[in-house]
Amino acid sequence: MNTAANDKSVNIKGRDFLALKDFSTAEIEYLLALAGELKQKQRSGETFTPLSGKTLAMIFEKPSTRTRVSFEVGMTQLGGHALFLSSNDLQLGRGETIADTARVLSRYVDAIMIRTFAHSKIEELAEYATVPVINGLTDDAHPCQALADLLTIYEIKKKFKGVKLAYVGDGNNVAHSLMIAAAKVGMDFAIACPINYEPKKKMVEEALQIAKQTGASITVTNHPDEAVKDADVIYTDVWTSMGQENESAERLRVFQPFQVNAELVKYAKHDYIFLHCLPAHRGEEVTSDIIDGEHSAVFQQAENRLHAQKAILLSLLGA
């Protein structure tokens, strides 16, 4: 990763941050470099408030710990203000259109972050908003998480080329964004899912097209050992996401062979790192000895949500 955070050739001011496929490799590397610099500033105790007077509206139709806290703290640390809006705080729940909500909020705030269900909702919000819209999570994508994941991998492995990232579990929104992120930076990606739980074909096709340009490889399999073989990074997520609670019993049964445990990680490289976007269900998708073990970087990864999102905010708002 060679793009410095002060590279004037990269300018994403005023853009929406809906999916990583919308950003070039250079732009993603810019955001990662900027996130690293912002992390250093915070660690050194330096006060840096370029977003003074700016306000971020945060819409939550899905609950959150890391997304809410990291965006709110990040905006505060940059000198701005974050406004929490649940479904109960908005007229969306009483029939106001997404378009009208976008138009109104655009006259009050400088950016909108939304954590919601259907990806079409965030696309409609971005279409009618006149301020940047940030995807805090949809059913299809979680780009903020993937950016933090890339930052964590780079901090530890010091490179992307030649690194293999293995994802084991549900082919969900996190998997989609990770796959695209890996392809963008030229990192090899393998995903193992049970039959009928693979990532969406459209997402796989997009990743394959990107990978052709960057030299990455994309592998989709139903065999965890195949995905994890010689992996530098092992990643998993919960088996039952929000909105899927009625499928929980069936998912627990189907996904059991995809648990990340001491037997599975033997297929990885000896210096592999373990990542999880959290919250984790210890004893389900991962055993406690792995997530709490010496190879785990999950809390470094969680912290990096803050720094990655500060980079997004700073870049989109043009400060």
Residues assigned a catalytic role: 115, 142, 145, 237, 277, 305
* CB neighbour list of residue 306: distance below 8 Å, 6 or more residues apart: 70, 73, 74
* Residue 104, H or E segment: helix 98-106
Q: Is 305 annotated as a binding residue?
A: yes
Q: Tell me how far apart the alpha carbons of residues 150 and 307 are, in angstroms, rounded to a whole number.
A: 12
In the block, residue with structure tokens 């710990």: 65
Q: Is 223 annotated as a binding residue?
A: no
Q: Is 87 annotated as a binding residue?
A: no
Q: What's the CA angle centered on 49, arms 105 and 12, to 5 degrees?
A: 60
CB 180, CB 155: distance < 8 Å? no
Q: Is 66 annotated as a binding residue?
A: yes
CB 163, CB 195: distance < 8 Å? no
Q: Is 119 annotated as a binding residue?
A: no
Q: Tell me how far apart the alpha carbons of residues 39 and 50 are, in angstroms, rounded to a whole number.
A: 15
CB 314, CB 34: distance < 8 Å? yes
CB 99, CB 124: distance < 8 Å? yes
Q: Is 237 annotated as a binding residue?
A: yes
Q: Is 242 annotated as a binding residue?
A: yes
Q: Is 138 annotated as a binding residue?
A: no
Q: Is 282 annotated as a binding residue?
A: no
Q: Is 65 annotated as a binding residue?
A: yes
Q: Is 277 annotated as a binding residue?
A: yes
Q: Is 296 annotated as a binding residue?
A: no
Q: Is 103 annotated as a binding residue?
A: no
CB 57, CB 105: distance < 8 Å? yes
Q: Is 67 annotated as a binding residue?
A: yes
3-state helix, strand, coil in the chain (%, to 5): 45, 15, 40
- Largest Cα–Cα separation, the chain: 55
Q: Tell me how far apart the alpha carbons of residues 4 and 13 are, in angstroms, rounded to a whole number.
A: 17
Q: Does residue 233 sit in helix, strand or coil?
A: strand
Q: Is 193 annotated as a binding residue?
A: no
C-alpha 182: how far from its chain's center? 12
Q: Is 113 annotated as a binding residue?
A: no
Q: Tell me how far apart the alpha carbons of residues 27 and 11 are, in angstroms, rounded to a whole number.
A: 8
Q: Which residues are annotated as a binding site for carbamoyl phosphate?
A: 64-67, 91, 115, 142-145, 277-278, 305
Q: Which residues are annotated as a binding site?
A: 64-67, 91, 115, 142-145, 173, 237, 241-242, 277-278, 305
Q: Which residues are annotated as a binding site for L-ornithine?
A: 173, 237, 241-242
